[in-house]
Structure 1
Amino acid sequence: VPMLPVTDGAIDARLILGLGAAAENDLAARPSHHDGEEEHEHDDFASVVIDLPEVADIDALVASVQKLAREQNVLRAKGYIAVAGKPMRLLLQAVGERVRHQFDKPWGAGHRHSKLVVIGEHGDIDEAAIKAGLGISRLGI
């Protein structure tokens, strides 16, 4: 395992970021998780796009996304949400039960339309169950 030089607890950010490392010149020495596999399935995952009406309660939406991760094995969720009384769209991103959200930019003159992309393992994605799990009526809609 290579060691990185540290001076007084500080490390050169270029080393951590790999700037100037010319890694592309040494690909044979950089194993991949694909190495040694006879087959590798990329279709183990499935996604569904859920259209949501305007949301009044952000905390209820976050709790619903966290519950989906726990109870329906949702791995990832991301999308833009229209929130009642807010001129900006809410960017929501979740990995498992870790949910981050922030208002990112105004909707402008365009249509306020919420969409949430939900990703999970192929056998776990059930659109009807996900819609029910979002508890749209509890979101204040």
Structure 2
Amino acid sequence: MTELVPVPFTILTGFLGAGKTTILNRMLAAPQGRRIAVLVNELGRIAIDSRLILSRGGDVLELAGGCVCCKIDVKNDLWDGIGDVVRRSRPDHVVLETTGIAEPAVIVSDFERLPEELRAPVELAGIVCVVDGEAALVQLGRRDEVRAQIEVADRLLLSKLDVAAPAAVAALRARLAELNPDAERASFPNTEDGTHALVHWLLARRARQPVGPAVHAHRDGQLVAVSFATDEPLLGEPVMALIRALGDRLLRAKGFLALAGDPRRAFLEVAGARTSLVPGPPWADEHPRTELVLIGEALDEAALRRQLWACRAAG
């Protein structure tokens, strides 16, 4: 029997709304001649991220239902899943997109403590942290998870530089130099050449400094993930008013909306400093259905569900 050669394994991390799924889509859509296995660690009960990923010849394995404190059942959920994908699909590279509040140091520490038979299918190629050029400086002042993700990375991918104020980017770069002076800071234009360079950079193997003892950076119970689904159409303006009323407590939101009187599937997103509700293509043969995940501080799930139900209207 041919011995299985370990497959490079890259952790893609970054805070809620930084742009990890956008980066994955650019990578998977690019003609790069490699088979990439993507693992998505969803935070809410409704799988949104895995449906936003364009699988172009890759193998997408969804790890759904991660709890809000981002503790992963390493043996059963993650490493067994990676081993199964490697044996079944023989990818050239494995990429794990973590939840927005994940602590990569915990994942790495758990990996290094695994028995050899579980660790053998992959070898850690690096940790890439997507940093929101528009919102990360404010987030660093509010959330310890942002700092923990930046500090453990060997590469920092700056996103949203096309919409961020120059002074904010300069201040952020200075802060990044304090937190992780050894990590390379990079960004890539949304062009063919830029995407080609992004893929090469993202999948490159990097020498990694030992990760210190993993300590949870956030307080248990501080964040709440609220999932909401309904088959009845909603009114867009009341939904957006509710989203805006949550203010800074709402750290991330994403999902699909079935809007009353509109045949198109809308996509709602709160990412960093940006909030949007954008109409997409028609539902066609798919049954219109609203599915949302909201993540924030001290959210009242029962109240949010009541208030979203109050946005219903006749189709």
Q: Same fold (TM over 0.5)?
A: yes
Aligned ranges 1:1-141 → 2 under 5 Å: 14=194, 18=198, 20-21=200-201, 24-28=204-208, 35-40=211-216, 45-52=223-230, 53-56=232-235, 58-70=236-248, 73-95=249-271, 98-121=274-297, 124-134=298-308, 136-137=309-310, 139=311, 141=313
Q: CA 1:22–1:94 in 2, change beyond 3 Å: closer, same or farther?
A: closer
Deviations 1:12-65 (A, max 9, x none): x65xx5464487333326x9xxx4454136876431211243123x23321211
Contact map agreement 1:69 1:97 (CA 8 A) in 2: no
- Highest relative contact order (Cα 8 Å, sep 6+), 1 or 2? 1
Compute the TM-score of the two structures, normalised by the length of structure 2.
0.32
Q: In structure 1, how many angstroms separate the alpha carbons of the residues matched to 2:203 and 2:262? A: 46
Root-mean-square deviation (CA, aligned residues, Å) is 3.6
C-alpha distance in structure 1 between counterparts of 2:240 and 2:250, whole Å: 13
Is 1:94–1:100's contact at 8 Å kept on the other side of the alignment? Answer: yes
TM-score (normalised: structure 1) = 0.63
Output the amino acid matched with 1:26: R
Give the letter aligned to residue 66 of structure 1.
Answer: R
Q: Which has the higher helix share?
A: 2
CA contact (8 A) 1:82 1:90 kept: yes
Alpha-carbon shift at residue 79 of structure 1 (Å): 1.0
Secondary structure, aligned partner of 1:112: coil
- Displacement of 1:114 after TM fit? 1.1
Give distance in 1, aligned partners of 2:202 and 2:305: 47
Cα distance in 2 for partners of 1:78, 1:47 equals 11
- Change in Cα spacing, 1:140 to 1:28, as seen in structure 2 (3 Å) is closer
When Rg is computed on C-alpha atoms for both structures, the one with the higher figure is 1
Q: Which runs of 5+ in 2 are unaligned?
A: 1-180, 187-192
- Identical-pair percentage: 28
Task: Output the CA distance in 1 between the equivalents of 2:247 and 2:185.
Answer: 37
Distance across 1 between alignment mates of 2:276 and 2:247: 14
> Deviations along 1:83-137, whole A, 9 cap, x unmatched?
112111111011366311211221123322112111124xx13211223454x43
Change (3 A) 1:109 1:3: closer
